[in-house]
Structure 1
Amino acid sequence: MLLSQTNNPALLLIDIQKGFDDVAYWGGERNNPTAEDHAAQLLAYWRANQLPIFHVQHSSTNPVSPLWPGQAGHDFKEGFQPLPGETVVPKNVNSAFIGTDLKQQLDAQHLTTLVIAGLTTDHCVSTTTRMAGNFGFTTFLVADASATFNKKGIGSQSFDAELIHQTALASLNGEFATVVNTATVIKQLSASQQLA
């Protein structure tokens, strides 16, 4: 499946917030250190081409979380602050569709194609991607613009962040979304623009 600008794809940036810089809190190790660089490339392309952008912002209900509202960790990372006219979708669970008006906004604007990137691959990115696929959106998940952290298994065994990232992507690809990378997204959209 190919991306096309004629479909007016919406970019969903999931939880690119300062609180995720606290690596120790989230698991002690993170994969894909260039995820934000790739996400910034996507954001720049969407802005340059005046395509729809949605910034999803997690507001934790846990007072000790770095994503608790009112503290610095809740803020978007540098370079990802929304510009006037760009939509912010606040949420407090994993899915950007639960307890928000995201689907209503997408439907009202007749947006049917979603490009998803952000943090973290196996939690909010995955949950949002699964629901997007279930809702019938044509969904693309950008692997190199997403990242996650080490996880502990039910027997306290340690699973490294890259393994968690890759298995999350594998479980989504072809079932809920098409997994792509940043270069592919920009190449396909640029090609469609030239054909228009």
Structure 2
Amino acid sequence: MGEATRYRRLSKDDAVVLLVDHQSGLISLVQDFSPGEFKNNVLALARSAKFFGLPTILTTSFEQGPNGPLVPELKELFPDAPYIARPGQINAWDNEDFVRAIEATGRKQLIIAGVVTDVCVAFPTLSAIEAGYEVFVVVDASGTFNEAVRQAALARMSAAGAQLMNWFAVACELQRDWRNDIEGLGNLLSEHIPNYRNLMTSYAARTP
């Protein structure tokens, strides 16, 4: 089996989450998801990172300009996480503090999401792959101008070896087995997928 066809499974012992440029100004550019849907997906990924105890690194680009500050919910969720306010580098990988923060975790699997998909996610993804990391792009917690731009960006990253996932798949692959924490994972999913609450309600009714 070739390297490209191997099933490289996410591990909570080797993964770090990178939340790139989820800033108040940049988020206004996201048009491939509705505002409510996109916010839900980003917070679902962030809360999944907390649930599994994954190291999480926050970074922003040129906060003083029109890109704006990091959305407050992410700062509140990760008050002690490395926070790299890049003074100007468009590609986060060009910022030494950002790369050092990743290296300090000792982990080789990068779970990345950001705004916008074709620049703030694609550029560090391609750079990280070149540097020898495994990169998992969370497509529904990353947004851009329209569907066509998103598809072109995902195709570019996939061709370079990035794996494309959604936040739900990330959570399930990290969980491995429902029996590890049925209520914990079920409640996390229920908070962000309304219909999933029905499953948990049914489960609770059948559980003595």
- Structure 2-normalised TM-score? 0.74
Any residues of structure 2 matched to 1:5-154 within 5 Å, and which? 5-7=12-14, 9-23=15-29, 30-33=31-34, 34-59=37-62, 65-67=65-67, 74-82=68-76, 83-91=78-86, 92-149=88-145
Alpha-carbon separation, structure 2, partners of 1:59 and 1:191: 38
TM-superposed deviation, 1:94: 2.0
Alpha-carbon separation, structure 2, partners of 1:131 and 1:180: 19
Larger radius of gyration: 2
Q: Spell out structure 1 runs of 4+ moving beyond 3 A.
A: 192-195
Alpha-carbon separation, structure 2, partners of 1:194 and 1:51: 20
TM-superposed deviation, 1:193: 8.9
Question: How many positions carry a matched residue from both structures?
Answer: 169
What runs of 5+ residues in structure 1 fail to find an aligned partner?
24-28, 68-73, 150-160
CA contact (8 A) 1:89 1:100 kept: no
TM-superposed deviation, 1:51: 1.2
CA contact (8 A) 1:122 1:165 kept: yes
Higher helix share goes to which structure?
2
Q: Percent identity?
A: 25
What runs of 5+ residues in structure 2 fail to find an aligned partner?
1-7, 181-208
TM-superposed deviation, 1:174: 4.4
Higher strand share goes to which structure?
1
2:69 alignment partner AA:
D
CA RMSD of aligned residues (A): 2.1
Alpha-carbon separation, structure 2, partners of 1:97 and 1:112: 15
Alpha-carbon separation, structure 2, partners of 1:174 and 1:3: 19
CA contact (8 A) 1:144 1:181 kept: yes
| 1:138-194 Cα shifts (integer Å, max 9, x gaps) | 110011111101xxxxxxxxxxx1100011101111424111111110100011696
CA contact (8 A) 1:132 1:176 kept: no
Instruction: Name 1:182's counterpart in structure 2.
Output: 167
- Structure 1-normalised TM-score? 0.78
Aligned: 1:173 with 2:158 = yes
Alpha-carbon separation, structure 2, partners of 1:172 and 1:130: 7
Secondary structure in structure 1 of the residue aligned to 2:96: coil
TM-superposed deviation, 1:49: 2.4
